[in-house]
């Protein structure tokens, strides 16, 4: 699909940008790593933990270069792209370490350069390599990802798909007001600014309702309707799908013609530059997803998450080039799909969470119809907010997780204050993976077959599988008062897959 997103002129610009970047990399090796994902999946936390553990020599036993002692040091340098905002690493770490608060979510594209000085494991490589790699980490909002598939769709396609999705059982009640308003509109009537505005506002309200925790839906384009930034109120955001459109050319001066023109302006001036200037320059990619939030909301949300990941992967440029083509075109040769917040489950359920994500990723890769890139999945927690323990209840010993739930989180009618640490039995994920995607079967949130236990239990007495969110941990200190690195689950495995081969 990615090849259909650009014109010949776009490809020429991409080739020139790539050639310039490759020429620079001959003297200063670099790797561009894209970090992306849907809203609140943990992109900011992942990048912060990635950098913090490398700079401070964190415990990373599965990251071979660190384990073998070949990394001399890692440090931040000035980023290469002056026009891109800097990822505010220091602010995010201060929130995590000093205030025990999660940092603010990604609201715009940002970049950070982390340079690693290392000794190659190969004597031959040490003769020809400087032992220095700059990792340019590019962070961009999950909402913007939702726009990329629009580059391959006409306005009629966009409208038809929007209405098809709006009548799905998990969305029908939320979209009812917008659909009723749209049904009363004549697309062939004269263009009217107030009509366009009412439609756009009603459509945006429906998308925002879909995003709330109760539904946790993922496929919600256009992304700037959820996060408009400096485009708020502009004509480029004052459009909406119209029902019953054909591919026939709209009458000049009609409402349909106005909507089509604004949709095309959105694609041309908002989406395409983002794709050309950032996505096509990536070498590696991690897609972080909050599968637990989707599991909370039920099979409809899981099926929607799978749809979103499929469309996201279809917009990347995966594959492996050769010595000649690499000078003119970048390809993403490794993609990691990571389910975050694994610390919200006991380790006994990590395999099931990873199996759910593997199923989601495998089907998405197959449907996106691309080959040539290595794709892996992992269940991780870039910052581990809980620890594990056991609680005895009668004759049964229950595995629990211990942490401080965020203020306002609820279990069995109890609302937490954000200060009290508690032990929680998180429940078990379903053994049958297909069930969590089956929108036609019984809702797996109801009586999912978990072990029964009293006390603080997620997913048993509650009417739904309910994974609460926790505050960041208080970091341990050594006897000398030195603060240790951020704890994690499988962050080292992610690092090994994403950059380990470049440090071999």
Per residue, the 3-state secondary structure of 127-168, as one string, reads HHCCCEEEEEEEECCHHHHCCHHHHHCCHHHHHHHHHHHHCC
Q: What is the CA radius of gyration of the chain?
A: 24
Highest-scoring range by mean pLDDT, 153-162, 327-336, 369-378? 153-162
Question: Do residues 97 and 237 both lie within one domain?
Answer: no
Question: Do residues 301 and 210 both lie within one domain?
Answer: no
The reply to whether 478 falls in a domain is no
Residue 374 pLDDT grade (very low, low, confident, very high; cuts 50, 70, 90): confident
135 neighbors 76 (Cβ within 8 angstroms): no
Spatial separation of the C-alpha atoms in residues 117 and 334, rounded to whole Å:
22
**Structure tokens, 381:** 């927690």
Q: Which residues contact 117 (CB under 8 A, 6 or more apart)?
A: 71, 72, 73, 74, 131, 132
Q: Which residues of 145-178 are buried (b: 16+ CB within 10 A; e: fewer)?
A: bbbbbbbbbebbebbbbbbebbeeebbeebbeeb
Residue 65 pLDDT grade (very low, low, confident, very high; cuts 50, 70, 90): very high
Question: Do residues 247 and 346 both lie within one domain?
Answer: no
Q: Look at strands 110-118 and 132-139 and give their pairing.
A: antiparallel
Is the pLDDT score of 232 beyond 90?
no
Question: Do residues 392 and 379 both lie within one domain?
Answer: no
**Structure tokens, 319:** 């594959």
Bigger pLDDT: 183 vs 152: 183
Rounded to a whole number, what is the distance in angstroms from the first to the last CA of the chain?
Answer: 33
Spatial separation of the C-alpha atoms in residues 64 and 42, rounded to whole Å:
25
Bigger pLDDT: 359 vs 198: 198
Q: What percent of the chain has pLDDT over 70?
A: 83
149 neighbors 311 (Cβ within 8 angstroms): yes
Question: Do residues 198 and 294 both lie within one domain?
Answer: no
Say how many domains are in the chain: 3
Bigger pLDDT: 307 vs 406: 406
Q: Which residues of 478-498 are buried (b: 16+ CB within 10 A; e: fewer)?
A: eeeeeeebbbbbbbbbbbbbb
Domain-ending residue, one of 270, 294, 314 = 270
Spatial separation of the C-alpha atoms in residues 149 and 1, rounded to whole Å:
8
Q: What is the pTM of this model?
A: 0.84
Q: Which of 132-136, 214-218, 317-321, 448-452 has the lowest mean pLDDT?
A: 448-452
Question: Do residues 27 and 133 both lie within one domain?
Answer: yes
Spatial separation of the C-alpha atoms in residues 279 and 85, rounded to whole Å:
16
> What is the structure's pLDDT at 329?
61
CATH of the domain at 136: 3.40.50.300
Question: Do residues 353 and 454 both lie within one domain?
Answer: no
The average confidence (pLDDT) of the chain is 83
Is the pLDDT score of 25 beyond 60?
no
List the domain range (segments joined by +) for residue 296.
2-140+278-384+489-503
Spatial separation of the C-alpha atoms in residues 486 and 475, rounded to whole Å:
7
Q: Say whether 404 sits in a helix, a strand or coil.
A: coil
pLDDT, mean of residues 481-490:
79
Question: Do residues 249 and 204 both lie within one domain?
Answer: yes
pLDDT, mean of residues 363-370:
69
Question: Do residues 44 and 128 both lie within one domain?
Answer: yes
Question: Do residues 136 and 167 both lie within one domain?
Answer: no
pLDDT, mean of residues 158-163:
96
Task: Identify which of 332, 279, 327, 320 has the alpha carbon closest to the alpha carbon of residue 25.
Answer: 327
pLDDT, mean of residues 137-158:
87
């Amino acid at each position: 699909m990615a090849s259909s997103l650009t014109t010949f002129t776009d490809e020429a610009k991409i080739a020139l940008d790539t050639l310039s970047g490759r020429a620079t990399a001959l003297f200063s090796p670099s790797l561009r790593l894209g970090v992306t994902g849907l809203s609140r999946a943990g992109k900011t936390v992942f990048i912060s933990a990635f950098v913090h553990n490398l700079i401070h020599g964190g415990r990373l036993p599965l990251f071979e270069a660190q384990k073998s002692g070949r990394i001399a040091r890692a440090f931040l340098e000035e980023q290469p792209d002056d026009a891109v905002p800097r990822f505010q690493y220091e602010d995010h770490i201060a929130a995590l370490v000093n205030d025990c608060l999660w940092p603010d979510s990604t609201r715009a594209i940002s970049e950070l350069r982390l340079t690693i000085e290392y000794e190659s494991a190969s004597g031959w490589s040490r003769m020809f390599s400087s032992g220095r790699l700059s990792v340019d980490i590019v962070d961009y909002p999950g909402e913007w990802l939702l726009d990329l598939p629009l580059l391959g769709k006409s306005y009629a396609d966009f409208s038809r798909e929007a209405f098809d999705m709006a009548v799905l059982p998990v969305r029908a009640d939320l979209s009812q007001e917008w659909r009723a308003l749209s049904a009363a509109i004549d697309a062939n009537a004269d263009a009217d600014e107030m009509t366009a505005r009412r439609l756009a506002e009603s459509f945006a309200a429906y998308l925002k309702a879909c995003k709330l925790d109760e539904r946790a839906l993922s496929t919600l384009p256009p992304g700037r309707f959820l996060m408009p930034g400096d485009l708020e109120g502009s004509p480029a955001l004052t459009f909406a799908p119209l029902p019953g459109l054909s591919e026939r050319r709209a009458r000049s001066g009609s409402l349909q013609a106005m909507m089509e023109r604004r949709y095309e302006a959105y694609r041309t001036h908002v989406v395409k530059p983002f794709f050309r200037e950032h996505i096509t320059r990536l070498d590696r990619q991690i897609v972080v997803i909050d599968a637990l939030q989707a599991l909370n909301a039920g099979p409809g949300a899981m099926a929607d998450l799978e749809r979103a990941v499929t469309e996201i992967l279809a917009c990347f440029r995966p594959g492996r080039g050769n010595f000649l083509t690499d000078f003119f075109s970048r390809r993403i040769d490794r993609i990691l799909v990571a389910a975050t917040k694994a610390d919200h489950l006991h380790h006994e359920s990590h395999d099931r969470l990873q199996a759910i994500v593997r199923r989601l990723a495998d089907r998405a890769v197959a449907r996106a119809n691309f080959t040539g890139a290595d794709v892996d999945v992992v269940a991780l927690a870039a910052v581990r907010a809980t620890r594990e323990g056991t609680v005895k209840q009668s004759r049964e010993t229950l595995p629990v997780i211990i942490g401080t739930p965020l203020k306002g989180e609820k279990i069995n009618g109890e609302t937490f204050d954000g200060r009290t640490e508690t032990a929680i039995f998180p429940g078990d994920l379903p053994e049958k993976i297909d069930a969590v995607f089956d929108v036609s079967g019984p809702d797996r949130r109801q009586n999912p077959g978990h072990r029964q236990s009293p006390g603080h239990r997620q997913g048993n007495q509650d009417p739904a599988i309910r994974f609460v969110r926790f505050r960041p941990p208080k970091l341990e200190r050594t006897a000398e008062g030195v603060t240790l690195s951020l704890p994690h689950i499988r962050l080292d495995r992610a690092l090994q897959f994403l950059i380990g081969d470049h440090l071999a």
